[in-house]
Structure 1
Amino acid sequence: MIGQAKTIPEAFLERVKATPSAVAYRDAGSGGFQDYNWSDIAQRVARRRAAFAEAGLKPGDRVAIFLPNGIEWVVTDLAAMAQGLVTVPLYGRDSPANICHVMRDSGATLCLTDEFERWADLGTETHSLPDLRNVWLLSGEDGQDDTRVSAYTENNIAESSEPLPSDGDQLATIIYTSGTTGPPKGVMLSHGALLWNARAVGQVNQIFEDDVFLSILPLAHGFERSLGWLCPMLNGSTVAYGRSIEVLAEDLRSQRPTILLAVPRLFEKAHHKAVERAQSSLIGGFLMKQTERTGWRRFQTTLDPSLSSNLLDRFFWSLIGARVAARIRDAFGGRLRMVISGGAPLSAQTFRFMAAMEVPLIEGYGLTEAGPAATGSTFEDRRLESVGKALPGAEVRTGPKQELLIRSPGLMMGYWGNPSASAKAIDEDGWLHTGDAAEIENGWVRIKGRIKDILVLSTGENVNPMPIESAIQSDPLIQQACVLGDGKPWCSAVVVIDTERFEKWAENQIPGVKDFNDAHLRKSLRNRLLEKMDNIPPFARINAVHVEVEPWTLESGLLTPTLKAKRPKVAQRFRNELNALYD
């Protein structure tokens, strides 16, 4: 691991010197995936850095990155930071209002994007960006009617005479939070904070030069930026940039990654698909269930040496179970040695399934303000419904209302242009107030949910909606879910269904039914979902459900860029339907 550098550009230069001809990135083009070694990337970074200098950008100026995942994103990030600039990543699928808010709030003077169409899709929102002077199109297109937009050009051979930044406390990037209840806030992260975070993660789970990451999450998110980009760079691993979720299965087969970072929904869908395929026959369904039961018992013996697998389990596993589990792992490329789930809680059902199939899935916890990782676990030492222990060098404890507090070298410098919010987030003793309720037992951290999301029923009971939503979404009929009930006598849920699966199920319940919100059908659905809630206290279980067929999107305003439901927005959008449930 590159361990001496104080800034990210210095770490990059050390990596180039250490393994110049090793494959750094694989990017998908018209002819398939193409390899780029560290020397290739260094030349591109030097040319782009020179272009920034020629444009008159000064250290501290903000540069917005409005690009899809790939080497152009990485080159822009590295070149800007090497020039002492501050990068501001933008989510490609975010709403125009949010994207322009980020550029306006950060005072970005330059934005890089790939093609004019992406910029034009922002519409009139771009008219209110007083600090933005230039937009560079990497495709080489003409900017058409917008005078700020021009084709990006660079010299074939260019070197910047400016020295690399050497102060680890210098601001490296401003990453804007999702903003579930208000406008996004800019989290300021230093070079030192990001490097500490990536190195600490590497201490918990070692990363090697022959590892291959498959990158499928947006680089604008701190999770992918730190664990999926900076960690591989420090350790000399290769990163292959996936083309899209639609062809993920093909990319897994062709790239055969050893490390994969993803959000829980990906694993939940893989779980549903595997079970559904097995249940197409009676024998297949039986073997899958038996493999899961046996595999889970085997997994528990790895955590508790006092337990021992029985003879029948060993016989079944050697004869059938190992083959069933291998097919599940083959769907992920067949070479995975570490899978990290983050961004949201993983359902207990999916954790058990993946552990039973010997998929090396681990969970961690973090938030952008922590740089982002704060806790982690290992494949050899993990717990159901726990996000692991504090990273080496970090501290965790709980405060009032069981709020999780974090203190580490990876914490943010504060919120950009918002000192009052910064003071509320990090107290005088250096503890970051996460806003998440947690339990800590023997160092193991269990997240109970966002404090602000806790529903207070009219009965006085407090309900954490997060595990309920995870349980609901573990059902293959459900694509998205939002649990509500603040001030009400019981909880309800708005769910978005998988229409094809739901239609088949509904026909079996009430032949000929056309209304998915038929009272009897909704009652049957509620009863089905209640079967997933054995671990939920009775007072917190849903008592009614409203069905939607149109998926929630960023454009609809119901999701954050990290695909979390905006609870207040959902409650407002479906207030009439919810009122009818309670009436």
Structure 2
Amino acid sequence: MFDHAAEDPGRVVFGRKADGRWQDVSAGTFRDEVLALAKGLLAQGVRFGDRVAVMSRTRYEWTLFDFALWCVGAQPVPLYPTSSPEQVFWMLHDAEVSACVVEHEDHAMTIGSVVDRLPRLARLWQLDADAVAELCAAGERIDDAVVHRHRMALTPESPATVIYTSGTTGRPKGCVLTHANFMAEADNIVRAYDPVFRSRPGEQAATLLFLPLAHVFGRMVQVAAVRGRVKLGHQPQLSAAALLPDLREFRPTFILAVPYVFEGIFASARREAELAGKAGPFERAVDVALRYAQAAEERAFGTGPGPGAALRVQHQVFDKLVYSRIREALGGRVRHAMSGGSAMERNLGLFFAGAGITVFEGYGLTETTGAAVANPPERTRYGTVGRPVPGTTVHIADDGEVWLRGGQVFTGYLGDGRATDEVLRDGWFATGDLGELDEDGYLTITGRKKEILVTSGGKSVSPLPLEERVRAHPLIAQCIVVGNDRPYIAALVTLDQEAVAHWLTMRGKPVSEPADLVRDPELEAEIRRAVVAANTLVSQAESIRTFRILAARFTEDQGLLTPTLKLRRKAIEKAYATDVEGLYGK
């Protein structure tokens, strides 16, 4: 950051939204703001090695605090804005946090509800109450050299942050990531994805970050953008109503998201076409995109000649009629995207590639500072999470577990040597995920070790592939497969209410209450088709025999999802115990 500002202080490095308009922030301005805030933190008692929590949605000030805290040798501890008081208490207590930055009054009240049990917590600053201005004013009398002395005292092995895993079971564990971890991850990604980070001649690469900065994916994007001199904007709301206007105004050249964002974009385009009476042409456009992308993929791997002349002509026609409109909805300049957090269905990746947006699917964990494996730009294999990023090695253990080794692998869990020893083995990190490597070294994740179901008949079943295939149906929001110690496999399914409302409208049906809707025989038949399609992936003994449609979705507020939207299986089975028993005639 300081080197970039010295070399080219006028270069635009951030887009910041103020009073409804995007404003450019130069490298020099960002450096000066970070320095002023760092001095204020020192003036308010933050010291080298202190841990300071940040509880906020994704916004410019989050990044400002991140870099300011690093400049004084402190360690940011991100908290999800949706965290409950007890979750907040555990993380602040476990990390021995001495100060906290919150976004608004509701967050301050969450902290306040547990502060009497946190004797080490001495400071609380609120972004919406001018915390930045307050701290900058407090540090005016401190010399810049004081900050630089703190900054120079850092080493690559110095802890940069403690990120708590969201965890599908048990208490979250604090992953200690060093500055070396971030540099290894960011620099290897920037080099490997030069076509993405360099953009076209005369056009500055830019990305709009709407992932939560409390998650390692968002933090890695932030650091990589600064290291790679990519213009970065922040968007705190993931809803289409808030996100799409900012995408059109900010006009990123690439985006980073989780699969359900791409699923939402595709589903929205399909609904729009159906409402306009153009369902047939849209489906033909989808078919052409899939065939075009698959032919291009085969050419990249030397197994085919690429798209033929007739297919190229069809593709050009649909590019003007369909694909260009999807790109325009994302700002018009997006040509690349990165997807992580969970698996993306192969056909979805092929569709976007055919529509002119190459989605690089990757895989990583908090413990690996983000992506450890990702599809390379020159040879993307859709339906896999790709090959090891430079500097990373992947090993499949005898039981199918994925092991990783590289400079981005964390140093251990904060204060938990036993848990650390369980996953770090002679330099390898045992991920807990199951996977397979193909002949070209591309990794496919097949499930989680701890989530393998074993029926009462002794059949082992990985629920993930079944759940993902069922969830690929446009009407389905979530699917959880059950069957541990049961005679057969079954599933609970929740609905995408927006998609269902559209489905009802297209059939001339009145919009029903969820409790009535789940008994609609035509809807049940649709869901059954999705289950039958999923069952083609497995043997009869592993197939879903029956399912139940639920009236409400699983939510984070209920404690049924992690902040990264992963299913908390035990919590769901407990909350819906009656429904689960009903699947087995009890």
CA distance in 1, matches of 2:3, 2:72: 17
SS where residue 417 of structure 1 aligns?
Answer: coil
Please say if 1:187 is aligned against 2:189: no
CA distance in 1, matches of 2:332, 2:465: 30
Show the counterpart of 1:233: 226
CA distance in 2, matches of 1:567, 1:152: 46
State which drifts further: 264-273 or 123-132.
123-132
SS where residue 364 of structure 1 aligns?
Answer: strand
CA distance in 1, matches of 2:193, 2:329: 23
Match of 1:167 among 155, 162, 165: 155
Show the counterpart of 1:298: 295
> What amino acid maps onto 1:537 in structure 2?
V
Match of 2:546 among 523, 544, 552: 544
> What amino acid maps onto 2:244 in structure 1?
A
> Contact 1:137–1:152 at 8 Å: present in 2 too?
no
- Cα-to-partner distance string for 1:448-468 (whole Å, 9 max, x where unaligned): 111111112223222222222
Please say if 1:242 is aligned against 2:230: no
State which drifts further: 171-180 or 519-528.
519-528
Show the counterpart of 2:82: 93
State which drifts further: 281-290 or 50-59.
281-290
> What amino acid maps onto 2:68 in structure 1?
A
Show the counterpart of 2:456: 458
Match of 1:408 among 389, 406, 409: 406
Kindly report which structure 2 residues correspond to 1:230-379, keeping only aligned pairs within 5 A, or say none. Answer: 230-246=223-239, 247-279=242-274, 280-308=277-305, 309-321=307-319, 323-379=321-377
Per-residue deviation at 1:481? Answer: 2.3
> Contact 2:59–2:236 at 8 Å: present in 1 too?
no
> Contact 1:177–1:184 at 8 Å: present in 2 too?
yes
Show the counterpart of 2:561: 559
CA distance in 2, matches of 1:153, 1:480: 49
State which drifts further: 110-119 or 381-390.
110-119
Per-residue deviation at 1:377? Answer: 1.5
Show the counterpart of 1:14: 3
SS where residue 203 of structure 1 aligns?
Answer: helix
Residue 359 to residue 423, structure 1, CA distance change in 2 (3 Å)? same
- Cα-to-partner distance string for 1:5-26 (whole Å, 9 max, x where unaligned): xxxxxxx211221221111211
CA distance in 1, matches of 2:105, 2:130: 7
Show the counterpart of 1:432: 429
CA distance in 2, matches of 1:103, 1:183: 13
State which drifts further: 485-494 or 528-537.
528-537
CA distance in 2, matches of 1:134, 1:453: 41
Q: Number of residues paired by the alignment?
A: 563
CA distance in 1, matches of 2:206, 2:511: 50
Residue 62 to residue 528, structure 1, CA distance change in 2 (3 Å)? same
SS where residue 49 of structure 2 aligns?
Answer: coil
CA distance in 2, matches of 1:325, 1:221: 31
Please say if 1:103 is aligned against 2:92: yes
Show the counterpart of 1:213: 207
CA distance in 1, matches of 2:577, 2:41: 50
> Contact 2:495–2:550 at 8 Å: present in 1 too?
yes
Show the counterpart of 1:178: 166
> Contact 2:208–2:233 at 8 Å: present in 1 too?
yes
> Contact 2:185–2:371 at 8 Å: present in 1 too?
yes
> Contact 1:523–1:544 at 8 Å: present in 2 too?
no
- Cα-to-partner distance string for 1:345-366 (whole Å, 9 max, x where unaligned): 1122312322222311111110
Show the counterpart of 2:574: 572
Per-residue deviation at 1:400? Answer: 3.3
Residue 347 to residue 516, structure 1, CA distance change in 2 (3 Å)? same
Which TM-score applies when normalising by structure 2?
0.90
Residue 31 to residue 272, structure 1, CA distance change in 2 (3 Å)? closer
State which drifts further: 560-569 or 452-461.
452-461
> What amino acid maps onto 1:553 in structure 2?
T
CA distance in 2, matches of 1:278, 1:70: 34
State which drifts further: 369-378 or 410-419.
369-378
Show the counterpart of 1:9: none
CA distance in 1, matches of 2:423, 2:575: 30
> Contact 1:80–1:87 at 8 Å: present in 2 too?
yes
Per-residue deviation at 1:187? Answer: 0.2
Which TM-score applies when normalising by structure 1?
0.90
> What amino acid maps onto 2:116 in structure 1?
H
SS where residue 448 of structure 1 aligns?
Answer: strand
Residue 495 to residue 126, structure 1, CA distance change in 2 (3 Å)? farther
Residue 95 to residue 481, structure 1, CA distance change in 2 (3 Å)? farther
Please say if 1:75 is aligned against 2:70: no
State which drifts further: 12-21 or 569-578.
12-21
CA distance in 1, matches of 2:28, 2:501: 54
> What amino acid maps onto 1:456 in structure 2?
V
Q: CA RMSD in A?
A: 2.5
Which segments of 5 or more consecutive residues in structure 2 lack a partner in the other structure?
none
SS where residue 233 of structure 1 aligns?
Answer: helix
Indicate the percent of aligned positions where both proteins have the same amino acid: 28
Per-residue deviation at 1:579? Answer: 0.5
Which segments of 5 or more consecutive residues in structure 1 lack a partner in the other structure?
1-11, 143-149
Show the counterpart of 2:29: 40
Per-residue deviation at 1:243? Answer: 4.3
